[in-house]
Chain A
Amino acid sequence: MTIGDHVADRVEQVPPSGIRRFFELAEEMDDVISLGVGEPDFSAPWAARTAAIDSLERGKTSYTSNRGMRELREAISERVTRYGQEYDPDSEILVTTGASEAVDLAFRAFVEDGDVVAIPQPSYISYTPGALFAGGDPLPVPTSAEDEFKLTPEALEAAGADEADVLVLCYPNNPTGAVMTEDELAAVAEFVEEHDLVVFSDEIYADLRYEDSHASIVTHPGMRERTVVFNGFSKAYAMTGLRLGYAMGPPEAIDAMNKIHQYGMLSAPTTAQYAAIEALRSCDDEVEEMRREYDRRRRFVISRFREMGMDCFEAKGAFYVFPEVPDGDDEAFAEGLLEAQNVALVPGSVFGEGGEGHLRVSYATSMRELREAMDRIEAYVNG
């Protein structure tokens, strides 16, 4: 007997990540410019880093309360009012180890064996495994380039999501950069209400919208009471390595998630919580400066793709664009590009149905590298 024979089916059934494969290919090569990175190229704002250092100097190295420091929950509660969200810091907010933990907690807290979890595709790669680990049954809901990868009631209907128990939303979206407006969310909210779904809304890219401000499904009638929102500090505050996020929802939802969190995690990293308080308190200008820089790069990258004859819809959020591959085979294109021009990006099919034939191009990379990368992509396309 070896322990390997005893890996649970729930775990075995999940295939290896396609991103991982590309990571390994890229790691084997030198002089790679990577447009495959899903995290900011900036460091966390200095004020936030200083707050973390100060907290260490003052010896703040113990656990915090399970739900996170009260001061941080208050700051979060105050912050999210700008998205039209109202959450009570005592009973409706849970600070987690990255939004990743919040996503995992939600699956474990709300998904019963065999529950159907509708996941719009292409999608961030954690949701399907998260649903499977919890015993759920993922239901892909393909979205398409014609709809700018927005989710519509028609797409939900066509995929059979009326029978689902949970719907996962992620706008602004990884990997497409798609956003949803209030009206578009209202149509989804109607579908959700009619078919009585629970909603997980991953809004980690809320602050990275370039044409308008963030819209959240929870502000629509009947949605707040059935929704858990995930957010965090990784993207807008460039704090990925500090591992800090949060979940917000009605008290019973947060109680249920906290029940798992208190045994599985105890509390989110204390040092990161100090950094996050300062980030919320004083780093708006830095966030805006980064957002403006991303916006310039976004426009640049979209223009270059269009000029080289590749279709590229206008992604308005996160830090990704999702152009179409000329001959349709995204895996071959991505591998060929890496081999011929040492540029790494991620083939769209890694992100599920609707992603095939596209590439996820991250512009969380300096203008200098982007310019060189786009020149190389153009050479590859023309070559």
Chain B
Amino acid sequence: MDKQSLLDLLRRDARESVDDMARQLGADADAVAAALEELEDDGVVRGYQAVVDWNKVDEEVVRAQVEVDVELDRDTGYDQIARRIARFPEVGTLRLVSGDYDFFIEVEGDSMQGISKFISERIAPLPEVTKTVTHFVMDSYKEEGIELGDGDDDDRLSVSP
């Protein structure tokens, strides 16, 4: 069972049945189920989520991307700071990045006010944090490789040579 092919498939559509995945991989359904379990047990596959176009949902969801600068000292490393930030349920994504700032955070909330409050009361006061810059998401055009919006109609002829 080629794990990379299975991962490719899962990343395209994780909701396919094991039988359908097996058919596409030319593999045995039992082998696919076992490989899947192994990927999960080994922590390679950490979860499965829906890609949502929030513009199509009535409920308002506010998202922000936050740049965070930190200053390390002899006792505190990136990992420790990261662990503290990651624990907040408001934080959806946390990455250490190269460039002008250190951490990149994605935050989700009900309102801009709520998110501003979260950043100013929970993130900015952390002793190592020296600066935060918050960018509210105004619109999204593509998420996880999927283009949002109305998409293109299939305007091919229904039967052609």
Decide if A and B are genuine partners: yes
User: Footprint of B on A, CB under 8 Å?
Assistant: 17, 19, 22-23, 26-27, 32, 34, 36-39, 41, 43, 124-126, 174, 292, 296-297, 299-300, 303-304, 344, 346, 367, 371
- With contacts A296-B24, A296-B25, A299-B25 known, is A39 near B158, CB below 8 A? no
Give Cα distance in the complex from A296 to B16, angstroms: 13
Which of B8, B26, B154, B159 has the most CB atoms of chain A within a 10 A radius of its CB?
A: B159
B152 on the A face (CB < 8 A): yes
Query: Is the CB–CB distance between A296 and B9 below 8 Å?
Result: yes
- With contacts A43-B152, A299-B24, A300-B20 known, is A36 near B8, CB below 8 A? no
Give Cα distance in the complex from A19 to B13, angstroms: 33
B158's partner among A27, A367, A371 (CB-CB below 8 A) is A27
Closest-by-CB residue of A relative to B8 is A292
B95 on the A face (CB < 8 A): no
Query: Is the CB–CB distance between B159 and A346 below 8 Å?
Result: yes
Give Cα distance in the complex from A367 to B15, angstroms: 12
User: Footprint of A on B, CB under 8 Å?
Assistant: 8-9, 13, 16, 20, 23-26, 152, 154, 156-161
Query: In the assembled complex, which residues on chain A have CB atoms less than 8 Å from the CB atom of B154?
Result: 41
Give Cα distance in the complex from A8 to B8, angstroms: 55
What 14 additional pairs, Cβ within 8 angstroms, besides A36-B160, A39-B160?
Answer: A17-B161, A23-B159, A27-B158, A32-B158, A36-B159, A37-B160, A43-B152, A124-B161, A292-B8, A299-B26, A300-B23, A367-B13, A367-B16, A367-B24
Give Cα distance in the complex from A17 to B20, angstroms: 36
Give Cα distance in the complex from A102 to B156, angstroms: 23
Inter-chain CB contacts under 8 Å: number: 56
B147 to chain A, nearest CB (A): 11
Query: In the assembled complex, which residues on chain A have CB atoms less than 8 Å from the CB atom of B16?
Result: 367
Give Cα distance in the complex from A371 to B24, angstroms: 11
Query: In the assembled complex, which residues on chain B have CB atoms less than 8 Å from the CB atom of A367?
Result: 13, 16, 24
The binding surface of chain B is classed by DSSP as loop
A23's partner among B20, B24, B25, B157 (CB-CB below 8 A) is B157
A317 to chain B, nearest CB (A): 16
Give Cα distance in the complex from A302 to B132, angstroms: 55
Closest-by-CB residue of B relative to A174 is B161
Query: Is the CB–CB distance between A34 and B158 below 8 Å?
Result: yes
The 7 closest A-B pairs by CB, nearest first: A36-B159, A296-B24, A303-B23, A23-B159, A34-B158, A300-B23, A26-B158
Give Cα distance in the complex from A36 to B161, angstroms: 8
Give Cα distance in the complex from A79 to B161, angstroms: 26
Closest-by-CB residue of B relative to A368 is B13
Query: In the assembled complex, which residues on chain A have CB atoms less than 8 Å from the CB atom of B157?
Result: 23, 37
Give Cα distance in the complex from A26 to B159, angstroms: 7
Which of B13, B24, B152, B158 has the most CB atoms of chain A within a 10 A radius of its CB?
A: B158
B63 to chain A, nearest CB (A): 26
Closest-by-CB residue of A relative to B160 is A38
Which of B9, B16, B156 has the most CB atoms of chain A within a 10 A radius of its CB?
A: B156
B20 to chain A, nearest CB (A): 7
Query: Is the CB–CB distance between B161 and A344 below 8 Å?
Result: no
> Would you give 13 A-B contacts (Cβ < 8 Å), ordered by A?
A19-B161, A23-B158, A34-B159, A36-B159, A36-B160, A37-B156, A37-B159, A174-B161, A296-B25, A297-B24, A299-B24, A300-B20, A304-B23
- With contacts A299-B25, A299-B26, A367-B13 known, is A37 near B158, CB below 8 A? yes
Give Cα distance in the complex from A124 to B161, angstroms: 7
B13 to chain A, nearest CB (A): 7
